[in-house]
Amino acid sequence: MAEIISVESETFQQQHGIIGESLEMKEIIHVIQQVAQTDITVLVTGESGVGKEVVAQAIHATSRRSKKPMVTVNCGAIPEGIIESELFGHEKGSFTGASETRKGYFEIADGGTIFLDEIGELPLGVQVKFLRVLENGEFNRVGSSAARSVDVRVIAATNKDLEHEVRTKNFRPDLFFRLRSVNIRIPPLRDRHEDVPLFVEKFAKEFSEKNGISFLGFTPDAMEVLQDYYWPGNVRELRNVMESMLVIENGKKLSGDDVRKYLKGYQAPEGERNLPVYVAQQNEFSERELIYRALVDLKSDVLHLKEMIVNAVRSTEEIRTQTSNLQSAVGGFPHSFNNDNGEDISLKEMERRWIIGMVQKYGNNRRAAAHALQISERTLYRKLKEYGEV
């Protein structure tokens, strides 16, 4: 049985671009194959960058709906006031600005799949309407009393702990129970390091072909460094690290020291680190081995400290550059609210320039910019819309 699954999953991996050799990933691929044939609602959970969207795409691509579209909706990026009409559509004149009747994403996805990303961001008022669609396939366009129904398969994803959201009354328990009946939980990359070499190979091939670089591979200790790293940003972070390394270290066989330069000096939270533990009933560790492991951990702590110091020095330099970049983004810091051209700048205008400057700085990655500005993605979206930037 296990053999059959592994042969099937190999072909599946080639077909759907989803890779993984760990038991966890093989199990996930098996579940995808089972649920894809049905219309059952699936909840995909896991930290940012673990591959939730990749899983959603694989479910859709394997299902009988694959010839129809998969509509992806990022619930966190749609302003709260319009999310209901975006999802379910609206009738002409149902609210100020509704000059035309419009279909919502559920109707657009008819016959296919709707992927509701960041479902934890769905406002409470809309959650009840979403539950109704899940329960009996029905919904109303905003401003209409006629119930409509569509043939849509729902996949939802979140990196939030929905149980916690339920406890803090931000998420309806009935919707939570309905959603979690099939829950694909993707473990963080640090908990499945067997998958790291596969990703490394995949991304090395992809980036060397894309950039015309000849990649000479890694020394064994380099691969160990990659496998032992904490990967707070998961597969996405590994992908980015591979791209930078390949491009910058062009044509070189990479050693452990080369690789370390590209990893952030990230410290795993206390308690999650591999501190040496003495397990009395397991005699396989002799005292000498324990001392050896303690020394290895100590060495890795020293390396982390070294990286942290290097990073701290780098960040100080970065802050200096950012300050001067931001100064140009806001047209110079106000001196009596005048810039160099003598133009008066209002607080609102300063905010506008600052926000746009930050979005540019993060290469139009709104999530990263919102994070840096310490505002929600929804607030950022609303402000950009206000500025006519979206």
Residues 134-173 binding ligand ATP (CB under 6 A) are 159
* Choices 45-53, 195-203, 235-243, 370-378 (CB under 5 A): range interacting with Mg ion: 45-53
Instruction: Name which of 53 and 228 has its Cβ closer to Mg ion.
Output: 53
Closest approach, Cβ 53 to ligand ATP, in A, equals 3
Closest approach, Cβ 153 to ligand ATP, in A, equals 18
Residue 170 has which token pair?
Answer: 């931000």
Instruction: Name which of 53 and 228 has its Cβ closer to ligand ATP.
Output: 53
* Choices 88-96, 165-173, 234-242, 243-251 (CB under 6 A): range interacting with ligand ATP: 234-242
Instruction: Name which of 10 and 53 has its Cβ closer to Mg ion.
Output: 53
Question: What Rg, from alpha-carbon coordinates, does the chain have?
Answer: 25
Instruction: Name which of 155 and 329 has its Cβ closer to ligand ATP.
Output: 155
Contact with ligand ATP (CB under 6 A) among 49, 76, 112, 120: 49
Residue 128 has which token pair?
Answer: 């009840």
Please, are residues 41 and 148 in contact by the beta-carbon 8 Å criterion?
no
* Helix ranges restricted to H, 89-170: 105-108, 124-136, 162-167
Instruction: Name which of 44 and 358 has its Cβ closer to Mg ion.
Output: 44
| Cα separation, 32 vs 30, whole angstroms | 5
* Choices 1-9, 51-59, 355-363, 381-389 (CB under 6 A): range interacting with ligand ATP: 51-59
49 binding partner (options Mg ion, ligand ATP, none; Cβ < 5 to 8 Å by kind) = ligand ATP
Instruction: Name which of 232 and 332 has its Cβ closer to ligand ATP.
Output: 232
Closest approach, Cβ 330 to ligand ATP, in A, equals 29
| Cα separation, 49 vs 54, whole angstroms | 10
* 39 lies in the binding site for Mg ion (CB under 5 A): no
| Cα separation, 189 vs 192, whole angstroms | 5
Contact with ligand ATP (CB under 6 A) among 14, 37, 48, 136: 48
* 235 lies in the binding site for ligand ATP (CB under 6 A): yes
For the chain, how are helix, strand and coil distributed in percent, rounded to 5?
55, 10, 35
Q: Quick one: CA dihedral 310, 316, 317, 318, positive or negative? A: positive
Residue 117 bridge partners (DSSP) = 74
Q: What is the DSSP string of 217-228?
A: -B-HHHHHHHHH
Question: Which residue is nearest to ligand ATP, using beta carbons?
Answer: 51
Residue 140 bridge partners (DSSP) = 147
* 368 lies in the binding site for ligand ATP (CB under 6 A): no
* 19 lies in the binding site for ligand ATP (CB under 6 A): yes
Q: Where are the beta strands (DSSP E) in the chain?
A: 42-45, 70-74, 113-117, 138-140, 147-149, 153-158, 183-185
* 110 lies in the binding site for Mg ion (CB under 5 A): no
Q: Enumerate residues 6+ apart whose C-beta is below 8 A from 109.
A: 68, 69, 70, 71, 150, 152
Residues 46-65 binding Mg ion (CB under 5 A) are 53
Question: Which residue is nearest to Mg ion, using beta carbons?
Answer: 53
Contact with ligand ATP (CB under 6 A) among 30, 68, 103, 239: 239
17 binding partner (options Mg ion, ligand ATP, none; Cβ < 5 to 8 Å by kind) = ligand ATP
Q: Enumerate residues 6+ apart whose C-beta is below 8 A from 321.
A: none
Please, are residues 73 and 123 in contact by the beta-carbon 8 Å criterion?
no
* Choices 48-56, 85-93, 176-184, 221-229 (CB under 6 A): range interacting with ligand ATP: 48-56
Q: Which residues bind ligand ATP (CB under 6 A)?
A: 17-20, 46, 48-54, 159, 235-236, 239
Q: Which residues bind Mg ion (CB under 5 A)?
A: 53
